[in-house]
Amino acid sequence: MSLAIAALQVGYARQVVVHDVGAKLAAGTVTALIGPNGSGKSTLLKAVAGLLPHRGTVTLDDRVMGRDRGGAIAYLPQDTGVRAALTVLETVLLGRVRTLGLRLDPALVDDAARTLEGLGLASLADRAVGSLSGGQRQMVLLAQALFRAPRVLLLDEPTAALDLRHQLQVLELVRAQTSARATVTVVALHDLGLAARHADRLMCLSAGRIVAEGAASSVLTEERLRAVYGVEADIVAAREGALGVIPLRAVATGPRPG
């Protein structure tokens, strides 16, 4: 199974934000989408999820997807705010909102509870989702997405509001679920070290175009960080083959496309 994006172009008003993006993403792999603020990461994810009108095609298993992609693609926005007094279990159940009836099927409730258990969140099931910490809420919303059993999982900055431990927990979980369920997973990330450590490959976006893709060691180079982020940085090898990115100073020229 694979997800293919071809000639994808997205814009707001008259301004094109994502230009002619093409990519082929395999099942069971995690792709990290990196790039500076405003490079089009969120826009690209939303367009692939079918939440923004776009040109070009998104193909899943050789079938071009229509506008309604909610059945196959789960997209997690950056915002984790919840206005209502709902329990964690109800929140997870909402993942399958289109199939829920007035009387809840006990098998479905059981299934939702097992999803929580699989993520080590069973003890939170009856807590109000609004009373959870940012990290716990992020995990619950991830559980909601996984409960949908999506074939494609798109996550927008899932670690933005999390401490180090929760960052690791969330990304390890994403990685494990991607392998176990053979999903196509794309994660937009600002932290390049996390991207290098947890993704199978990186895709670097600059001014709405893909400027590099491949293994972390080939995408994360000092020249590219200078060109794309406008930053002078050291790339260092860490334990267990991980890469560390140490930003040193902003360079005067600033970021420029490609």
Partner 1 sequence: MSIALEHAMLAHRVRSQRRARRLLGCLGALVAVALVDLMTGPAMLTVEQVLDALLHGEGTADPMVGIIVHTIRLPMLAMAVIVGASLGLGGAVMQTILGNPLASPYTLGFSAAAGFGAATVILFGLSLPFAPWLTVPLAAFGATAAAAALVYGFARLRGATAEILVLAGIATLFLFQSLQSLLQYLASPEVLQQIVFWLFGSLIKASWSSVAVSGAILAVSLLVLLVHAWPLTALAFGDERARSLGIDVERLRVSMLLVVSLLTAGAVAFVGTIGFVGLVAPHLARILIGDDQRHLLPMSALCGATLMTAAAVVAKVLSPGSVVPIGIVTAVVGVPFLFVLIVRGRSRGE
* Residue showing tokens 């964690």: 88
Beta carbon of residue 83, minimum distance to partner 1 (angstroms, whole number):
5
Of 145 and 219, CB closest to partner 1: 145
By CB under 8 A, tell whether 218 contacts partner 1. no
- Alpha-helix residue ranges (DSSP H) falling in 105-219: 106-118, 134-147, 164-181, 192-198, 216-219
The residue (of 8 and 116) whose beta carbon lies closer to partner 1 is: 116
Residue 117 or 232: which CB sits closer to partner 1?
A: 117
Query: Restricting to residues 62-91, which ones interact with partner 1 according to CB under 8 A?
Result: 68, 70-71, 74-77, 79, 81-87, 89-90
Pick the closest to residue 65 from 145, 156, 4, 147 (CA basis). Answer: 4
Q: In the set 102, 107, 164, 246, which binds partner 1 (CB under 8 A)?
A: 102
User: 211 by DSSP, 3-state: which?
Assistant: strand
Question: What is the Cα–Cα distance from 163 to 239, expressed in whole angstroms?
Answer: 21
Q: Which is nearer to partner 1, 51 or 251 (CB)?
A: 51
* Contact call for residue 131 and partner 1 (CB under 8 A): yes
108 binds partner 1 (CB under 8 A): no
- Confirm or reject binding of residue 230 to partner 1 (CB under 8 A): no
Q: How far is CA 134 from each of CA 130, 158, 161, 175, rounded to the nearest angstrom?
A: 9, 10, 7, 20
Question: Residue 189 in 3-state DSSP?
Answer: coil
Find the DSSP H helices in 8-102. 41-48, 88-93
CA dihedral 183, 194, 5, 254 (to 10 degrees): 170
Tell me which stretch binds partner 1 (CB under 8 A): 20-28, 58-66, 116-124, 243-251. 116-124
Q: Which residues bind partner 1 (CB under 8 A)?
A: 49, 51, 68, 70-71, 74-77, 79, 81-87, 89-90, 94-95, 97-98, 100, 102, 109-110, 113-114, 116-117, 122-123, 125-128, 130-131, 141, 148
